[in-house]
């Protein structure tokens, strides 16, 4: 029972950090201490945090390496942006429309997660990583060649160009292939981002600490033993993978509604993005949810904060990455951590003694 309360405390700290971050940033904004550059980063920060938490579910809890997380984000982003564009004038108020867009983006990504998961989760380790990587690239490239238009006769689709859609005069092109979707309503705000982070945390933390989570972690720790006590391997692997994909889709919705033009580039939905999310997860600690949040925030802000150093900033970024890895995983680094912990313990005990 003591353990339960310890767990609960740790979870409350995680929620607390997010809420505190929101309060501090809001306060600073009112005091005029936040630069416009940083203001523009707030929603993307929330996007990255959600992505990091959701990928940690696959990598840390399920124990499978996925390199296609940006693909699920892409699916969520484009499906929801398309929905919002079509219904921008039909569904009012905007809040309700955005809520529906969130649901659609999440569900579409979950369906993709399920469809990809069924064949892919039979693979293990490197093979799974390669296939998910390919999937991410495929989604991005498919989105880049799709043209979708609408006129009084309904929807038209083409993979060539917008002229071959054969729209009636007055028809509207919704997806313009490599030019993506333009004119998505900007519904995302920092507050919505924070709420979505909290919801993501709620789902992931509660999932981990439940019967389902135990089954998923049992599969991670020893598949054969899990099978021998009657755990349905396929079911729980798929479940974890789809939930992870769905949450990436949620992040995609947030991302899409923060931009007026949504284009699938290698930078935002490609391999680079998937790797970056993985870096957040690895650096924050595999399986450590709070660590992913902190890593995502620090590693997103760091290059921006170092902008003044222009040419040297990526150099420093790399040095910080390597230093953190050495500090957290090498023997020497762990010894220093232990000593620091002991030091703080002693100090808090001394204070209690007073």
The stretch among 42-50, 184-192, 210-218, 255-263 that binds other proteins (CB under 8 A) is 210-218
Among 224, 307, 331, 352, binds other proteins (CB under 8 A): 224
Assess 218 for contact with other proteins (CB under 8 A).
yes
Binding status of residue 116 toward other proteins by CB under 8 A:
no
The residue from 32, 154, 230, 353 that contacts other proteins (CB under 8 A) is 230
Instruction: Say whether residue 227 binds other proteins (CB under 8 A).
Output: yes
10 contacts other proteins (rule: CB under 8 A): no
User: In whole angstroms, how close is the CB of 50 to other proteins at the nearest point?
Assistant: 16
Q: Which of 161, 168, 232, 338 binds other proteins (CB under 8 A)?
A: 232
Binding pattern for the stretch 233-272 against other proteins, x by CB under 8 A and - elsewhere: x-----x---------------------------------
Phi, psi (5° rounding) for residue 176? -105, 55
Which residue in the set 31, 119, 154, 211 belongs to the binding site for other proteins (CB under 8 A)? Answer: 211
Q: Using CB under 8 A, which of 144, 182, 186, 212 touches other proteins?
A: 212
Q: How far is the CB of 162 from other proteins (least distance, A)?
A: 43
Q: Which of 130, 134, 207, 302 binds other proteins (CB under 8 A)?
A: 207
| φ/ψ (deg, to 5) at 324 | -65, -45
Q: Is 5 in the site for other proteins (CB under 8 A)?
A: no
Which of 140, 220, 237, 290 contacts other proteins by CB under 8 A? Answer: 220
Give the interface segment with other proteins, choosing from 17-25, 114-122, 183-191, 231-239 (CB under 8 A): 231-239
How many residues sit in the footprint of other proteins (CB under 8 A)?
29
Contact residues for other proteins, defined by CB under 8 A: 2-3, 202-203, 206-207, 210-215, 217-218, 220-222, 224-233, 239, 287
């Amino acid at each position: 029972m003591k353990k339960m309360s310890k767990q609960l405390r740790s979870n409350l700290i995680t929620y607390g950090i997010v809420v505190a971050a929101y309060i501090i940033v809001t306060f600073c904004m009112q005091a005029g201490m936040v630069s416009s550059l940083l203001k523009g980063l707030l929603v993307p920060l929330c996007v990255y945090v959600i992505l990091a938490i959701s990928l940690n579910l696959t990598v840390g809890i399920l124990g499978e390496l996925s390199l296609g997380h940006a693909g699920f984000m892409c699916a969520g982003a484009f499906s929801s942006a398309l929905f919002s564009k079509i219904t921008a004038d039909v569904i009012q108020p905007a809040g309700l429309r955005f809520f529906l867009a969130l649901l659609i983006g999440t569900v579409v990504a979950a369906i993709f997660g399920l469809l990809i998961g069924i064949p892919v989760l039979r693979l293990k380790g490197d093979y799974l990583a390669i296939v998910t990587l390919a999937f991410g690239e495929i989604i991005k490239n498919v989105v880049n060649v799709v043209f979708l238009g609408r006129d009084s006769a309904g929807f038209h689709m083409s993979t060539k160009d917008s002229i071959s859609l054969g729209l009636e005069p007055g028809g509207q092109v919704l997806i313009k292939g490599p030019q993506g979707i333009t004119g998505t309503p900007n519904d995302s705000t920092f507050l919505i981002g924070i709420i979505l982070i909290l919801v993501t945390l709620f789902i992931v933390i509660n999932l981990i600490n439940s019967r389902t989570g135990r089954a998923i972690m049992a599969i991670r720790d020893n598949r054969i033993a899990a099978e021998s006590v009657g755990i349905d391997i396929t079911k729980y692997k798929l479940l974890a993978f789809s939930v992870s994909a769905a949450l990436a889709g949620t992040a995609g919705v947030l991302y899409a509604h923060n931009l007026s033009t949504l284009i699938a580039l290698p930078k935002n939905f490609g391999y680079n993005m998937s790797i970056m999310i993985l870096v957040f997860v690895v650096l924050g600690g595999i399986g450590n949810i709070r660590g992913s949040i902190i890593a995502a925030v620090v590693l997103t802000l760091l290059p921006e904060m170092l902008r003044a150093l222009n040419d040297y900033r990526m150099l420093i970024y790399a040095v910080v990455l390597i230093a953190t890895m050495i500090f957290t995983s090498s023997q020497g680094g762990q010894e220093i951590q232990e000593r620091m912990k002991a030091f703080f313990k002693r100090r808090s005990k001394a204070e209690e003694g007073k």
